Structure 1
Amino acid sequence: MTPPAVRSAGLTKRFRSGQVAVDGIELEVPRGSVYGFLGPNGSGKTTTIRMLLGLVRPTAGRAWLLEEPMPEGGGSVLPRVGVLVEGPAFHPYLTGRANLARLDAADATADPRTTRRRSDAALERVGLAAAAAKPFRQYSLGMKQRLGLAAALLRPRDLLVLDEPTNGLDPQGTREVRHLIRELADAGTTVLVSSHLLAEIDQVCSHIGIMSQGKLLVQDERLALTERGEPTLVVRTAVDHVGTATEVLTALGLGAPVVDGPEVTASLGSVAPETATAALVGAGVPVVGLEARRPSLEQLFVTLTGEGFDVAR
């Protein structure tokens, strides 16, 4: 099997105050995947990413990027990794293009002869070509975030690590970032994207890891995660037939039917949807609509943690 692009073993960070920000997580990001690192603010995602990149030393445990141990292998592996960690910092009086040139000059493995071409290509890719000659201090929050993305894309990367990449972006910018992530993944880049926004993760990621209070609660392929939950059957009928529909579903063994206007919802269990449909029609219930639903990503998170969080966008 191909080794994962990112891996950790018992990765832990305990601060001097005694707070455990990250508690023994075993992260595994498959190569070629878009791995959504999901959790509310303060769950330990950013601290984990900083440890993976060698920016913060773990209290215990190990981490590897592209099979290189971190931080020992940082010098050889980090040129292959594009990174956007929350709050990217640039020189305020330099232009966007000049900031990228300074970053590129700090990379001993980059070809200085192609700096201008690669910088302009990265700025074009994130929608900042028109603002390339504008000082960074005049950039809006969304433009600063876009410049951070451009810095991560200055050269081809085997791994892209993005921490809250749509922070400060408007809906159009958010859609553009999602499209860019898919484009990079299709080209073979592994993408680890951290976010507290469910909609982002659900739309773009192939794999998901859910963190809460410093612990990695679960990780798997996105579809496999949502299929773990108990499916429900939603039957829509005429209002004066909901009583009969409820009786039929109960007799079939569906759990705890709930009536909401013309809809009856019940836990499907092991009953096949077609069996329920036949029983309803046989009892004279006019079935206007019938749907077998799997739990959403939001419902899965609430089930695992008992918490809700920002599901905007």
Structure 2
Amino acid sequence: MAHLLVTGGAGFIGSNFVHHVLDHTDHRVTVLDALTYAGNRASLDGLPEDRFTFVHGDITDAELVDRLVADADAVVHYAAESHNDNSLDNPRPFLDTNIIGTYTLLEAARKHETRFHHISTDEVYGDLELDDPERFSESTPYNPSSPYSSTKAGSDLLVRAWVRSFGVQATISNCSNNYGPFQHVEKFIPRQITNVIRGIRPKLYGAGENVRDWIHADDHSSAVLTILDRGQIGETYLIGADGEKNNKDVVEQILTIMGQPADAYDHVTDRAGHDLRYAIDSTRLRTELGWQPQYQDFEAGLAATVDWYREHEAWWAPAKDATEAFYASKGQ
């Protein structure tokens, strides 16, 4: 049994990881989360008290971070400001959390010689042309296009530097777009699902041709555990499930699953600097570490996600009105 410190464990991907770890291992988990608007303590309700501890705090708090890292066998660092639209509106929190927060954690891991795994995104690589046969790999150059992705790229580079210069025992993973339970309603898939539940027509940026490589959050969690157990120190692994879909197709699938006409959505103003296409080549993770995704049928995973949001309106409803008001102010 190991003791994992999970930063950002009340957020979407982090909370799914916490549930996965407690369901599939004997590990203990401590979550450190600042509970910003994107963190939800309710996402961690019902977890076993003898194996789970929640700490409300900020990853830029060096004294708190030092104390928690000293007591952990490994740090799994999910905490991040992560929404492109918000980074375009106010970049500063992204610098504070993604850069200074990561630095603070790395210094504690360095001091206590604690295993460290850093969660990152495929958005650090920029985007691909819609007809490009290539996909992102571990050797793809960084080319971030927003304050969000540039600060995540910066945090990746900090981890690499702390491995090389100070011998921190760290690995990095860059994952494609996640979907599943506990995702904030500002994000693309839950926004459309909850719109339909509320009787609001879904919203599609521009022509909807932008492509994302979707992976279920539970598959992301199993990949991170695999890297934590068997990954080579200092290395980066890309996590993806071969789930390329354009936004138009995703909206139409959601509408069909929910019993609505496939064309019952509205086109809205496109996002500034909207990346065209992300696509992950996860060959290294699969061949070297033996990982495989379990949710290989995107439509089935999407239907299960629709069911979750239908059954958990009390979880997402408090954030819905403010989210839609924000988008309406931007014509989206």
TM-score scaled by length of structure 2: 0.26
Which protein is richer in strand relative to its size? Answer: 1
Which protein is richer in helix relative to its size? Answer: 2
Q: Which has the larger radius of gyration?
A: 1
